[in-house]
Amino acid sequence: QTATTPLPSDPSMRLVLSIDDDPKVPSLITQELEDEGYQVVGATRALEGIEKAKQLGPQAITLDIMMPGLDGWEAIGRLKGDPQTRDIPLIVVSIIDNKELGFRLGADEYLVKPVDKEALVNVLQRFVGRQVLVADDDPMVVDLVRQLLEEDGFAVRSAANGREALDEIARSQPDVLLLDLMMPIMDGFETLQQLRANPETRDLPVVVFTAKDLSPEEREELQRSTS
């Protein structure tokens, strides 16, 4: 780690990963975004950035194209081809104006340098704050939710049971959890109990969707702890 690319220290701030071989760029983005509630971590090589994306689960990634070694085009393919990182909003920030190729490879937005603060903040506001985690053991349900929400700009992650959901939330907390109740290993009720017992997840919005025929007691319990 360098002085300009610290690991995230404030969990209340939204994390942005800046991948650019110019170390001044993360510092510049930090100056532009920290007053808006963002914390920026930098990486000066594409491979380093890909590893940090997996480790940190940032809310967004900005990516330069012209970098030594692995370039930005290849990095887009790897980030969007990996289940761990494919749902992270990816914003290309480059002097190369080739938006068509960027979008075709999977970039979510493409900005041409020099980028002013207003443009960058506007783009981030479109993507950050729209992270959804779907906890359901039925992959068909997950795929359907993904299709429905991604059309409207939501980034969707998934977990097959409550234990996986808690692990995903610990790695990177979403803005809302869509929670099935009937799941193996850990069901939705126990998942909710653990979420509400943890101060860091007590206020996480949770929306239950289920085929379970709820008893009056179960419905009352859910009304107390879900959105």
Q: Do residues 173 and 132 lie in contact, with contact meaning Cβ atoms separated by under 8 Å?
A: no
Whole-prediction pTM: 0.59
Signed CA dihedral, 9, 13, 17, 22: sign only: negative
Could you report the per-residue pLDDT of 10-69, keeping only the tens digit for each? 555 688 999 999 989 988 898 888 887 788 999 999 999 999 999 998 989 999 999 999
DSSP annotation string for 128-166: TT-EEEEE-S-HHHHHHHHHHHHTTT-EEEEESSHHHHH
pLDDT at 5 over 60: no
| Confidence grade of residue 227 (pLDDT, cut at 50, 70, 90) | low
DSSP annotation string for 175-186: SEEEE-S--SSS
